[in-house]
Amino acid sequence: MGDEESQLQTSNSGDEQPVNNDPGDGVEDSQLASPSSSQQQIEALGQERERVEVHNGLVGRNSIPPSDATPGSSSQVQYTTSNHINRLDRRSGTESTTTPQTSAELLSPLTSRTSVSSSYREMPWSAMFDHFLNMRQDRSHREFIDKASITYLGESFPLAIILEDFQEGGMPKLHHPAPPYPGSSSLPHPTDKDITSSHNHPAHVPAQELEYLQAKGAFDYPKKAQWDEFMTVFLDRVFPIYPIFNLNELVQQYRNDTLPPMLIHSICFLAATFCPIIILHRAGWTSRREARFSYYQKAKALFDVQYEVNKLVILQTVVMMSFWGGGPNNYWNFYGWLNIGVTIAETLGLHRSMATTNMKPVDKSLLRRLWWILVIRDAFCSSLVGRPFRIDIDQCDTEILTLDDFAHDTDLMADTTIQSFANYQIHMSKLSLILREIVQARFHPRKLYIDTAQLHGKLVQWRNQLSENLKWSEKSSDVSNIYSTTIAACYHHNLILTYLGQTPVNYDSVTDIEAIYNGDVAHSSAEYISGVLCAAVTSSKIHFMPHELFHGIFLAEAKFYTEMRSSHRLISQLGCAALNSCQMVLHESWDSWDPSPWVMQLFDNLIRRVREEQQLDKASIPVNETTSDASYNINRMSAWGNAPLMPFETDPLIGGVAYESLQNHPMLSTLFEVPQDLFGYGLTPTGPS
């Protein structure tokens, strides 16, 4: 059992129940898990029995706000993309209903087993190559490639060098049919009618692990109304910014209740991350963190026992799980999940061109979107904590995204407001490549020979090529278009990273504040990021934004912190105020963007240390007017700097980053010019992360 699960556990009942204990109380599983009175004790393996579960929704010991006590209802939450469900139903001639097919006989999840997936999962390398050779002998037809069953063999594979038919259209043939995929696991979720359909569990999962999964609640799902709300949020708020599915297939599986269990929990996890809090309250959750952790641990439990064998389903799940922050000493953090995602993607050959591969165009587009989403997240997440990029772009030749990769759903692309998300993905992919160049030019051990002016020029050129629906004004903090808002903040994130620490400004000799700020690119970009994020907070849109938007706030705080340390009174005061604004943004996003707590705590400690230094200076040397002014500015910090650390400082659900690792951060190391032992609080949480 992973570290996370040892600290927080949901009740083991036929229904999903919110956690009653405080996430940080350190209670063990045995103390938290309580078997449901409506569920019979698991009988001996091999015996079939009926499992009678009564699904009464999320009924737990926590106080659940009644629907009439909430400030809104489901009808008041406006969505657009979910209308695609109804359009799909009309085209297929079906009614818009989510009632699954009924089954008269309810089977235990431990008794109904299949054997086909076992041999598939345990397939040796020799079997894969035997299948490859057999397919070569059958030259009567061109090999068709299934998106979920691909064997990738690169140019250095010895047979690729000596066999003539490893060429296709003058290009190396890299993608080959893998042994037929046996089919995905799927378990319909409970509905208001308390119906579950029979389900065949993969035979490769031992009985003990099925019992473990049942105890973890991996086979417990939201009620129909809650599941419908989560899927609506996912389609409207998550899919447009992270389009990791074929939309038609996803909606059809949702309608037919054939989504694999791991995808159900992962979708709920991301929906809980981006949804209005009122939806979680209606579902019985007391906090967003509580809901996110519950769905995360269920999906991870299924991942841990390798319940799913479909590589594409696993990849889609892993991409969604990368939104779990974790901690620096736990491999199951965002960086670890991205590592796994890239490994799976490279196994399928997503990093290589599929231009000549015999595959459905819609599937090629899906795989390209998946790859570029990994590229984007790898670039921004790795640079956030100063880790190496997992993806080696020099080894990749996947085509850049185009509008054609989003045009397979004509109804969706007919909506001009939706078209922005396609352009957003295309231009974010290109921007992430520039981010890689910036990091490699400034911080890589083998630095690229690109100067600051060239990097800035690349960013300006990228901005000039933006489509009209993504352009923004530097004088506006309008956040109504989340795509242009996010892409603008990421552009300024890259500018700060290009200039931060390059040309230190002697603020003490400044006489014209406006002039020095006008020439400080990093300051202007930090101000822009702070402004748009504060606007997102005041307009209650902070939880709807792509998470790449938040990465800029870290760099903005780093810039404002350097200004706050100035002995020049006005510059210090302005830096102080700007830093407080950034802390406010992080406070609002702390339950959805997992780095928020440790970034807040990091700068709280830095501010406290500056205040201590100022006090020491006042006690040891005569206080002149400039020093007095600076001390005054530091000591009048708002509650963010003076108050005790926030109550989530040791949150076991959202891990921190150790001070030592950040002190060696290649992009932020100049901030840490104070001894660590003067910090009164550690940054590593005591609980699991």
What does the pLDDT look like over 518-530, one tens digit per residue?
A: 678 999 999 999 9
pLDDT at 387: 92
Q: Determine whether 126 is exposed, middle or buried from the number of CB atoms within 10 Å of its CB (0-12, 13-18, 19+).
A: exposed
Q: Tell me the β-bridge partners of 12.
A: 35
**Which amino acid is it at 346?**
E
Segments of the chain scoring below 50 in pLDDT: 1-15, 17-79, 90-119, 184, 187-198, 623, 625-663, 670, 672-689
pLDDT at 665: 54
Model's pTM, two decimal places? 0.74
367 sits in which H/E element: helix 361-385
- Number of H-type helices and E-type strands within the chain: 26, 6
pLDDT at 650: 40
Residue whose structure tokens are 């063990």: 28
Provide the Cα torsion 373, 375, 381, 384; round to 10°: -140
CA dist 649 and 646 (Å) reads 6
CA dist 386 and 146 (Å) reads 37
Q: What is the CA radius of gyration of the chain?
A: 27
What does the pLDDT look like over 566-603, one tens digit per residue?
A: 877 788 888 889 999 999 999 999 999 999 999 999 99
370, 313 Cβ separation under 8 angstroms: no
Half-sphere exposure of 73 (CA within 13 A, CB side): 5
DSSP states of 244-306: -S-HHHHHHHHHHT---HHHHHHHHHHHHHHS-HHHHHHTT-S-HHHHHHHHHHHHHHHHHTT
pLDDT at 453: 92
pLDDT at 412: 64
Domain residue spans in the chain? 29-115+183-405, 472-678
- Tell how strand 171-172 and strand 167-168 pair up: antiparallel
CA dist 140 and 559 (Å) reads 64
**Residue of 658, 90, 630 lying closest to 328 (CA atoms):** 658
pLDDT at 569: 79
pLDDT at 58: 33
pLDDT at 653: 45
Q: Tell me the β-bridge partners of 50.
A: 107
pLDDT at 501: 85
> What is the distance in angstroms between the CA of the first residue and the CA of the last residue of the chain?
13
